[in-house]
């Protein structure tokens, strides 16, 4: 059985800039050139961590961003609801991945 536990989220602070310049899609849906476009949006775009030049560099960036106050960890653990909607063959589906028909 799965064990579900609360976590202390790591979030961008206002020091990071506009959220639209900071987020990126998952690495497995990137088209050629997308990585560079996201990297150029902000020195704090999450692409710098998600698809780094090297993993040690990503670890260094993460530590630096936390020291600079770009990212801050929540003081208390919490549970988070993840909800997603999408279409499959023209039918609306949800997080439970079930589609009628």
Question: What is residue 99's predicted lDDT score, i.e. its pLDDT?
Answer: 46
Dig out the tokens for 1 from the structure. Answer: 């059985």
Question: What is residue 37's predicted lDDT score, i.e. its pLDDT?
Answer: 97
Q: Which distant-in-sequence residues (6+ apart) come within 8 Å of 36 by Cβ?
A: none
For each successive 10 residues of the chain (101 residues), what is the average pLDDT?
Answer: 90 97 92 96 97 96 98 94 80 62 43
Dig out the tokens for 56 from the structure. Answer: 């040690």
Residue (of 80, 85, 82, 79) closest to 97 by Cα position: 85
């Amino acid at each position: 059985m799965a064990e579900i536990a609360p976590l202390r989220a790591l979030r961008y602070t206002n020091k990071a800039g506009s959220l639209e310049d900071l987020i990126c899609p998952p690495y497995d849906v990137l088209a050629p050139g997308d990585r560079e476009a996201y990297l150029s949006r902000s020195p704090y775009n999450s692409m710098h961590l998600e698809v780094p030049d090297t993993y040690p560099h990503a670890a260094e960036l993460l530590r630096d961003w936390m020291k600079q106050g770009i990212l801050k960890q929540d003081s208390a653990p919490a549970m988070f609801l993840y909800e997603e909607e999408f279409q499959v063959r023209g039918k609306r589906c949800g997080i439970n991945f079930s589609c009628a028909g």
